A and B are shown apart, each in its own frame.
Chain A
Amino acid sequence: MSRIGVFICHCGENIAGTVDVAAVTKAALDMPGVVHAVDYKYMCSDPGQTMLKDAIVEKKLDGVVVAACSPRMHEPTFRRTAEEGGINPYQCEMANIREHCSWVHEKGAATTAKAIDLVRFQVEKVKRDHPLVPIRVPITKKALVLGGGIAGIQAALDIANAGSPVLLVEKSPSIGGHMSQLSETFPTLDCSQCILTPRMVEVARHPLITLYTYSELEKLDGFIGNFKATIRKKARKIDEKLCNGCGVCQQKCPVKKIPDEFNEGLSNRAAIYVPFPQAVPNKPVIDLANCTYYKTGKCKACEKLCPTKAIRFDQEDQIEVHDVGAVVLATGFKTMPVNNFSEYGYGKYKDVIDGMKFERLASASGPTGGAMKRPSDGKTPQHVVFIACAGSRDRLKGVPYCSKICCMYTAKHAMLYQHKVHGGQATVFYMDVRAAGKNYDEFVRRAVEEDGVKYVRGRVSRVYEDDGQLVVKGVDTLLGAEPVEIRADMVVLATAVQAQNDAEELAQTLHVAYDPYKFFAEAHPKLRPVETNTAGIFLAGACQAPRDIPETVAQASGAAVKVAGLFSQPELTREPIIAVVDRQPPPVFSHCVGCFLCKAACPYQAIEEEQIKNRNGDVLKVVARVNPGLCQGCGTCVSTCRTKAIDLQGFSNEQVFAELMSI
């Protein structure tokens, strides 16, 4: 027989003013199983808590109901008190007679009756409470950072500097990402590579960071604190230990006409190549699709000439499996391809380029050494038109969101152009100039006022070629909405920022939610911006939404702090409100019949298939098992279960139905 104690709080006049607490106390004493009932002015006060503790000891209580405010307010308080009194904290329940009763109803018999009902529900529930212990999960204190752009670099450095080892995985042959391609950065115009390369080198030298370039994440199993990451290290066909990065191979490679990805196709590279001179690691990779040896079986020029004999044509991809405790997603973005824009020529005009190409043209390390030369004939363009919002804020043909960075980089491009081509004219067609940020608007004003960039408010309807020039047809909505036609030598499109092509696939591999545009979704748009809804996986940078560099770095550091915070705990403790699948003695083993409807319903992939085997290893039955590390306790599986084999601790079927039986 249960020995339940009921404690009714007056909450000053808050409850006692409306509810007849003496009547509730009296009624509680009549409830089966209740051996002790008392009311008190403030249960949450020190004397109130002491009273509860003492009663547990003196009356040998095995369950406690506190009828007071909302459990969302004081459940942790009273559970702690109950534990101090010597019973399991999960054998303390609260009846909400304040928010759900005294505050919302008039004084009277009906309100007191409701309070009595609410107490009775909880008495029925607490009688069926089982002692529960918080779940403890060990943590592997090693982080996996996916993506070696500025977001991944920053996150990896911050985590490593906080003392935990990091695996940094980058799919391309070098870290650096988009930022390494940029010429100057707004709003300070400092050179992108000058500020980035030291960070890249720091990553390579950091004793706690293991760099996996030219590698991809194949699979991620497990849960927070206990992930298993399968990494595919693609074959560079180079022995990285022997290679000293001398570069003879790329000079001697006979295949030289491959569009260079780093220079956005504005120059060519060899079939064995280092993406750019400052690459980290400075080791080449063989492009299998274009290498003569892999196409015809002959050549091997690089192998013959390599001074350290580092070429390995027989090298194969390697698969490595690592235990990690947390993951930071920093996989970045892509820009909308220029050939999406039919009105601007579907990419058929060589001199209609996108912002990334312009970055390479303007960069001192670019194909022109930073000289403004247009791609078609290498002439210096005397008039350049910049089209902002190419694809952004375009519901019909592009994306409906604002790409955020384009206003600023277009101002920067126009400014750089004016600095490089004296007497040239940059014209910007824009919808709105969104320059919110520290020193951002000042920067745009400087482009207009000091560098003479012309801003035309209006959209461009068409770009076409005529007599070797590009004709830009648009409208000036501020000057009488007149159509304008500008003959330009080069047109730069500020193309929309989009999620990476493989973002959806990656999100599904990691079980991370994503939005309609395939950007990864944060757990809460305001209060949990760097977490995902999958515990232990964090976000940094433009894989979540369009972001500029300062925001990306801030977010990466935020994600790193979340990881460091997780790793600072000796182990994870979680509320034991989770689902469990029952186990029975043989030959039943479990009431579970293995239909796995629960597995389909679970939003957290917490249901696993467990094979029950005999001594010979033959599978007798396949039943469900709940991974306590993943289960969040929603109970969706419980209501799906056909045989009632799965139940939710703390909100079990027995308890809920007992509550219902007492209504």
Chain B
Amino acid sequence: MTDVRVGYYPGCSLQGSSRDFAESLHAVAKALSIDLVEIPEWNCCGASSGHMLDHLLSVALPVNVLLKAKKAGLPQVMAPCAACYNRLATASHEIATSPATKAQVESVLQTSIDKLPRVLNVIELLAQVSERIAPKVTKKFEQTVACYYGCLLVRPAKVTGFDRTEDPVEMDKLVAAVGGKTIDWNFKTECCGASFSISRSSVVGRLGARIMQDAVKRQAEAIVVACPMCHSNLDLRRGEINQQLEHKTDIPVLFITQVIGLALGLPKKKLGLGRHFVPVKFPPRPLAPPAVQ
């Protein structure tokens, strides 16, 4: 099996609050022969604060990252964090569609911009190698889960060009590939409150509660995410969420890489499962299916 070589842009989250995402990603990548090449001397993508304050900065920062990746000979760049992914993809889109912005960025970066590397999110990358996953499954992930995409992974459609914007299914397909069952629910792409987690955690509690409530109502045993922000809001802020809920819930929130890692039989420690605030455990299953009467 040939290695898939892809540029890897960790961003701040994967080195800080979401080390579990990074650990599981690396473990799964290794198992699936994906060669993640960290972009040398990468810089901040400009998410949250950068792009709110200065439009030029919001394009120039990610473009600088992509230029470095290009210099390192990487045709595609994968950003696991959905916010990083969105910034990189948006910047790429702006360079391609707005000659004025392109000229401005070229002048601040003092370079000319030709074709930029393609920007991928983690789902897209895994989908590229999806046929490698099933043969390597050693222990089917037999849980019913709600795949939660959040806002930045699929939108806006003209920028991401990924999956069905209003009703994405790519993550569901990956879960199904490792034996999991996914529910059809209403809040796949609803807002989790994102960076209000810091400034107004009650907002996160309110928004997160609606998401959790619908998932639990439809018998989900876990939420699966592909975004550090979604993860921390539903996991770290579970206290605030439970305050808003009539029936408190303790279903875990897993990264898609952790789900795949579990199915591939990778050790729990390597998947960072111990770093969660809501412990990763599933309801016990009957050992054998009930006999047919």
Contacts and interface: CB of A to CB of B under 8 A. Distances in A.
A–B interface present (Cβ within 8 A) = yes
Contacts of B166: 342-343, 462
A245 B162 CA distance: 54
Interface in B157-211: 157-158, 164-167, 184, 186
B152 to A, nearest CB: 16
Contacts of A471: 186
B167 A466 contact: no
A214 interface: no
A396 B158 contact: yes
B186 A466 contact: yes
B214 A466 contact: yes
A342 B165 contact: yes
A342 B167 contact: yes
A396 B186 contact: no
Contacts of B214: 466
A346 B164 CA distance: 11
Contacts of A396: 157-158
A498 to B, nearest CB: 20
Contacts, number: 19
A346 B167 contact: yes
A465 interface: yes
A483 to B, nearest CB: 11
A270 to B, nearest CB: 34
Contacts of A514: none
Contacts of B184: 348
Contacts of B157: 396-397
Interface string A441-475: 00000000000000000000010111000010000
A342 B165 CA distance: 8
Contacts of A346: 167
A407 B214 CA distance: 34
A485 B165 CA distance: 21
A464 B186 contact: yes
Interface in A501-538: none
Interface in A164-191: none
B93 to A, nearest CB: 14
Contacts of A465: 186
A1 B173 CA distance: 87
Interface string B90-127: 00000000000000000000000000000000000000
B151 to A, nearest CB: 12
A471 B187 CA distance: 12
A348 B164 CA distance: 15
Nearest to A463: B186
Contacts of A348: 184
Interface of A: 342-343, 346, 348, 396-397, 462, 464-466, 471
Interface of B: 157-158, 164-167, 184, 186, 214
Given A396-B158, A466-B186, 11 more contacts: A342-B164, A342-B165, A342-B167, A343-B166, A343-B167, A346-B167, A397-B157, A397-B165, A464-B186, A465-B186, A471-B186
> 8 smallest A-B Cβ distances: which pairs?
A342-B166, A464-B186, A343-B166, A342-B167, A342-B164, A346-B167, A396-B157, A396-B158
7 contacts: A346-B167, A348-B184, A396-B157, A397-B165, A464-B186, A465-B186, A471-B186
